Structure 1
Amino acid sequence: MKAAAPQQILTADQMRASEQRLIDQGETVESLMERAGAGAADWVWRLSAGRPVTVLCGSGNNGGDGYVIARLLEQRGVAVSVVAPMGPKTDAAVTARKRWAGTPVDFASGEVFVDCLFGTGLARPLSDDLLAKLTQLSDAHALSVAIDLPSGVDSDTGECLNDELPHYALTVALGAWKRAHWLMPACAAMGSRHLFDIGVGAVENAVQLTQRPCLSAPARDAHKYSRGLVTIIGGEMPGAAILAAKAAQHAGAGYVKLLAPHSHPDLPADIVLDENEDMSPALDDKRLGALLIGPGLGRSEKARQKLRQALASSAPLVLDADALTLLSPDMLGDGAAAHLATPHEGELASLCEAFGISANGKLEEARALHEATGLTVLAKGSDNILVGSSGIRFFPPTSPWLSTAGTGDVLAGIAASRVASGCTPFLAAQQAVQIHAEAARIAGPVFSASDLVDALPRAYAAFL
């Protein structure tokens, strides 16, 4: 088997197949349950600090993990209550229940509540009585912990199968990350996430959690063109294009040019303004590293013609905002693989409609759009999903303070800068999301898009 891949993100079917491979190699369901339960118990032990713990156990193997957790915590001197609305039904869970050797109670309160009701594979809502029990126990404790996944969550889609599910301080993923750990809306309620590896090997074609970028300073002999020329096509709303230009300038590009019909008081003197109505000379510049079109472009026929001209150039493009609304199948040629599209969910849905794509959910829409067009697609939002020729990447959660006007323009400018520096669209998108997220962390709460731009140099420095 291949070496373990702790950043892979598996579907429920992939996880079951991985566990079966371990069993085929000599493990048993019971030995895997003991290993997973021990790892989860360590996390609960740290959180509880010896205070009373209540474990809610279901009938399946997730419930079996709960009995293992209860037994091991009791061995450490923790007062543990087990609530079991139904008895164990799998052989491994029955064995775990017997080894615990305690007597379940109907209800308990305390400091830490551990949810082992249902894990990976749940596809239907919790019954009213189980939802009530889950909610009551969570409300009766100071902290709640989900083992593998919170109950009531679809592992593969991140959908919450019931309304008003509890929020958790900690979620301990067992064996591998699941898609719901990183997809909205489920991931918003999981608190801190930690993975306990039980020996699952690498799974071919698995979604991956993006790695921390490793940026570098310019070479000793660098000049403005070697660091990357970014050209931004302006339009009807100059503010958005200027934000993107400032972001590109602070994310590594050596030269940023704005194609716009006239100047603007907010345009910095060190961003070159090209007022030529004919964009051809700028688009034909052999030194051009990346072209960004969309922020502030507008949706007029003139804007559409600008988009057509940009797509006809040989430069790699970052397509954002209005460019995505105007994009149609007849505009894309053979060079689409060199381009990055950065739609939010509404723009993604519009693109799917324009390209005749029928898919359900953000991930499947992004995947289908990539397959239909060749574009690298960064489906942005509270959860970012990247789909391209190098696979699929999910990202750690970003600051909710990014939900303000102009932050998407900043992200597009960062992405264009990274493309101009020589990154593939796929790598540029990964770096852009994480620089963007780090800038939001540095900016703190209640920031504006301009504040975000100001934080970019420190964000970039964090990855050097």
Structure 2
Amino acid sequence: MAAADAAAIAAGTPGEALMARAGLAVADAICQRHAPRPTVVLCGPGNNGGDGYVVARILAERGWDVWVERLAPPASADAKAAAAQWSGDTCEIGESTREADLYVDALFGAGLSKPLDGEAARMARLCERIPDRVIAIDLPSGLAGDTGQVVGDVAFCAALTVTFHAKKPAHVLEPGSSRCGDIVVADIGLVTEGAILLENTPELWLSRFPWPDAGAHKHARGRLVVVSGEAWNTGAARLAARAGLRMGAGLVTLLSPTEALSVNATHLEAVMLRGFDTEVELEQLAADVDAAIIGPAAGVNETTLLNVLALARTGAALVIDADAITVFRDDPEELFSVLDVDDVLTPHPGEFERLFPGFLKEAPERIAAARRAAKKADAIVLLKGPDTVIAAPDGRTAVNTNGSPWLATAGSGDVLAGFIGALIAQGMESFEAACAAAWIHADAADLHGPGLISEDLPGLTPAVLRRLYDLR
């Protein structure tokens, strides 16, 4: 953003003009959501505070009862110019006796590098208790723009955040995302090129979604296999298989240890079933498939390890989940040596730590950790969480922003693996398949809401796909 600002100024747009555009965008967003009411604008000394002075001036011109409480006098040239155009009431934070119905946080924005203290910290604690009455400019003050973490002990919490040009990492990573409320991205005339950090929305992948055409048949819609666990651990693989079928894979086969065949057979209909006893037989059964899923309830044992290596020899794109990740905890390099850029790893943070020890602790945020992991593994890494991060070895990274709390239930990750595998089997590029699957997974969960269990998810998927199909 600093580079984008500098480029705009170098191209002839004064910084004062950019500040005026930013302030106008914030004032417009406020007026669209609120009727005039007593409003205080909390201004810091930098350009975020300068934006605040513009907001105060515009609101006053529109008839609002508004005043400024400043943390310190404006320090930058643009902020000084904006303050000079504000002729309304101004005092230091904490000195006013007036009561506000609305608070505009223009203290620090995304550039904060040290904890809030003094009056700024006091106001943050106040606004944490009344977030529905708070609007933040750029980012709630007290959050680190690159990580979404609270810098120190306290940060503002807002119902609306207005930022400029593009979202920042703190807008999509927790806990920052939850503190931003609704996010409006305003265009103020900046240009950046070559962005590889993306928000995961349908715009990212919908144009390449593998819808069937009029001549489609089941063999053309992708062949997906899922490896079952032993007889007493078969449900997770069936969940993944059913999810793959719902996501459009033409042929889905559950590859089952022979001793688990009868258990699986009693629960399967359109999903086919084949038995195997050794990794050599597994490799033969998967020789001609497009994608393979292994890990859901597979067991953390030598058999699972050998089965992963056998599937890797087939050339099928692999979705490696759960136990198939953990089984390589003592020698991650053995796994990495057989992966390629078409394969997808789907760890939750604990499993991620087993394959990539220290990466999360050493990274300033989950984005950096996932990117580093994808490069090391030479595969797609989907790091699960409320802010799921999908990273590719080439640096492309997407953050899922529609995460649903209803997915916190056993088996939901098995369904996600099935979604990913099915999309890859149908020819979707693995990074985009992982992004699409994560978004659809969360959207389906939100359709159901309270009471969701993982078995519900495949049945909810057609409604999501119908909406996406209509948008194509």
- Whole-Å separation in 1 of the counterparts to 2:359 and 2:132: 49
Work out which of the residue numbers 381, 398, 407 in structure 1 matches 2:403: 398
- Equivalent residue runs for 1:346-365 within 5 Å: 346-353=350-357, 359-365=363-369
For the Cα contact (< 8 Å) 1:81–1:104, is it kept in 2? Answer: yes
Q: Which residue of 2 aligns with 1:306?
A: 307
Question: CA RMSD, aligned part only?
Answer: 2.2
Q: Which residue of 1 aligns with 2:296?
A: 295
| Amino acid across the alignment from 1:384 | T
Farther-moved stretch of structure 1 (81-90 vs 156-165):
156-165
- Whole-Å separation in 2 of the counterparts to 1:302 and 1:39: 59
Gaps of 5+ in 1: 1-14
- Whole-Å separation in 2 of the counterparts to 1:282 and 1:305: 10
Q: Which residue of 1 aligns with 2:237?
A: 241
For the Cα contact (< 8 Å) 1:311–1:332, is it kept in 2? Answer: no
3-state secondary structure, aligned to 1:74: helix
- If asked which structure has higher relative contact order (CA below 8 Å, sep 6+), I would say 1
- Whole-Å separation in 1 of the counterparts to 2:78 and 2:364: 36
Q: Give the % identical residues.
A: 35
For the Cα contact (< 8 Å) 2:389–2:397, is it kept in 1? Answer: yes
CA gap of 1:162–1:360, structure 2 versus 1, over 3 A, is closer
| Amino acid across the alignment from 1:431 | A
Farther-moved stretch of structure 1 (356-365 vs 101-110):
356-365
- Whole-Å separation in 2 of the counterparts to 1:140 and 1:385: 30
For the Cα contact (< 8 Å) 2:131–2:159, is it kept in 1? Answer: no
Farther-moved stretch of structure 1 (206-215 vs 398-407):
206-215
Work out which of the residue numbers 136, 145, 164 in structure 2 matches 1:155: 145
- Equivalent residue runs for 1:197-208 within 5 Å: 197-208=187-198
**How far does residue 355 in structure 1 lie from its aligned partner after superposition?**
9.8
- Equivalent residue runs for 1:269-418 within 5 Å: 269-278=269-278, 280=280, 283-284=283-284, 285=286, 287-327=288-328, 328-333=332-337, 335-353=339-357, 359-388=363-392, 389=394, 391-418=396-423
Q: Which residue of 1 aligns with 2:461?
A: 456
- Whole-Å separation in 2 of the counterparts to 1:319 and 1:140: 44
| Amino acid across the alignment from 1:401 | W
For the Cα contact (< 8 Å) 1:147–1:174, is it kept in 2? Answer: no
- Whole-Å separation in 2 of the counterparts to 1:232 and 1:65: 54
| Amino acid across the alignment from 1:361 | E
| Amino acid across the alignment from 2:227 | I
3-state secondary structure, aligned to 1:292: strand
Q: Which residue of 2 aligns with 1:9?
A: none
For the Cα contact (< 8 Å) 1:112–1:141, is it kept in 2? Answer: no
- Whole-Å separation in 2 of the counterparts to 1:59 and 1:338: 49
Q: String of CA shifts for 1:165-199, please: whole Å, max 9, x gaps.
A: 34311111123211111111111111111100111
3-state secondary structure, aligned to 1:21: helix
Q: Which residue of 1 aligns with 2:108?
A: 118
3-state secondary structure, aligned to 1:353: coil
Q: Which residue of 2 aligns with 1:101?
A: 87
For the Cα contact (< 8 Å) 2:236–2:297, is it kept in 1? Answer: yes
- Equivalent residue runs for 1:65-84 within 5 Å: 65-84=51-70
**How far does residue 90 in structure 1 lie from its aligned partner after superposition?**
1.0
- Whole-Å separation in 2 of the counterparts to 1:356 and 1:186: 17
- Whole-Å separation in 1 of the counterparts to 2:420 and 2:104: 41
| Amino acid across the alignment from 1:377 | V
Q: Which residue of 2 aligns with 1:6?
A: none
- Whole-Å separation in 2 of the counterparts to 1:356 and 1:90: 36
CA gap of 1:138–1:49, structure 2 versus 1, over 3 A, is farther
- Equivalent residue runs for 1:18-57 within 5 Å: 18-57=4-43
- Whole-Å separation in 2 of the counterparts to 1:350 and 1:334: 18
CA gap of 1:75–1:386, structure 2 versus 1, over 3 A, is same
**How far does residue 100 in structure 1 lie from its aligned partner after superposition?**
0.8
| Amino acid across the alignment from 1:272 | M
**How far does residue 281 in structure 1 lie from its aligned partner after superposition?**
5.3
**How far does residue 279 in structure 1 lie from its aligned partner after superposition?**
5.2
- Equivalent residue runs for 1:252-267 within 5 Å: 252-261=248-257, 262=260, 263-264=262-263, 267=267
Paired positions, count:
450
- Whole-Å separation in 1 of the counterparts to 2:355 and 2:16: 48
Gaps of 5+ in 2: none
**How far does residue 435 in structure 1 lie from its aligned partner after superposition?**
1.1
CA gap of 1:44–1:358, structure 2 versus 1, over 3 A, is closer
**How far does residue 330 in structure 1 lie from its aligned partner after superposition?**
2.0
Work out which of the residue numbers 157, 170, 178 in structure 2 matches 1:167: 157
Work out which of the residue numbers 214, 227, 230 in structure 1 matches 2:224: 230
For the Cα contact (< 8 Å) 2:360–2:369, is it kept in 1? Answer: no
- Whole-Å separation in 2 of the counterparts to 1:291 and 1:254: 14
Q: Which residue of 2 aligns with 1:5?
A: none
TM-score, length basis structure 1: 0.91
**How far does residue 354 in structure 1 lie from its aligned partner after superposition?**
9.5
3-state secondary structure, aligned to 2:113: coil
- Whole-Å separation in 2 of the counterparts to 1:246 and 1:164: 45
| Amino acid across the alignment from 1:452 | L
